[in-house]
Amino acid sequence: MKKIAFILTFLLCLGCKNNHPVSDTDQGKENGHEQHKEKPSKPGAANEHMHRSSVKDLIERFESPERDAYQHPQKVLEYLGDIQGQTIMDIGAGSGYFSVKLAEKGATVIAADVDEEFQEFLKNRITKNNLKNIETRKIPYDSPNLTENEADMVFIVNTYHHIENRPTYFTKVKKGTKPNGTLVIVDFFKTDTPVGPPADHKLSIDVVVNELKKAGYTAFTVNVDLLPYQYIIKAK
């Protein structure tokens, strides 16, 4: 059945986030001495599923014409608007598929990933092709490693569902984004699709929005028409 396109905008009062407290476990990690006793971050089930393939195979898949056919990167870039001069963190940058394109549009890009092999590949790509305005940043599974108000935009494609403890994680993302900055998430519809992870690893739009409310985001724009298998959520 053909999808019915819609643009849904949620405007929520700033006080709404108080109705969605983080869990006791998350609060404990952020308060007192418990913060210093956190276990090292580790990958979740979605990451384990992805890494059944080698990094080499994943890079070939990420950079393939087949991905271009469903990802429509130029449409995504047009949707983002004028990003000239903006600092954008690309979380889950992988091979640099979007990082390179964002930099070509004039953004200063922080290509962030948890995987050292992806980071090494991208460093070599940057050097080999003399790419400008891109830096790599290896990040842990539980933090974007942004300094306060560092980014104008945080951009995350096909990666949101890989992150564990998302309300806590995206509280950190929001702190690292400028007051007028934007979080942009592109991820797969929670249904069976020809591309993407299994349906049980995907997250519905409602789940994502509710998690981001808990992280402190109060305004949302959702687009389900631009891409064939993915939605786009802009959050502030």
Give residue 29's pLDDT band: very low, low, confident or very high (50, 70, 90).
Answer: very low
Buried b or exposed e, range 31-54, using 16+ CB within 10 angstroms: eeeeeeeeeeeeeeebbeebeeee
More reliable by pLDDT, 87 or 38:
87
CB under 8 Å to 68, separation ≥6 — which residues? none
The predicted pLDDT at position 148 comes to 98
- Residue 135 φ then ψ, to 5°: -125, 150
**50-235 belongs to which CATH class?**
alpha beta
| Average pLDDT value for residue range 78-84 | 98
H or E element that contains 78: helix 73-80
Question: How buried is residue 220: exposed, middle or buried, by Cβ count under 10 Å (0-12/13-18/19+)?
Answer: buried
**12, pLDDT greater than 50:** no
> Where exactly are the structural domains of the chain?
50-235
| pLDDT at residue number 22 | 32
Rounded Cα gap, residues 39 and 48, in angstroms:
18
Provide mean pLDDT across the span 195-214: 97
Residue 217's nearest CA partner among 168, 178, 170 is 170
How many other C-beta atoms lie within 10 A of the C-beta of residue 156? 24
- What's residue 53's pLDDT? 72
The pLDDT mean for the chain works out to 84
Apex 72 CA angle, 150 and 183, nearest 5: 25
Q: What percent of the chain has pLDDT over 90?
A: 77
- For the cut 60, the answer to whether the pLDDT of residue 50 exceeds it is no
Cβ proximity of 5 and 225 under 8 Å: yes
Amino acid in the structure at residue 157:
V
| CB-CB neighbours of 199 under 10 Å | 12
The 3-state DSSP class for residue 110 equals strand
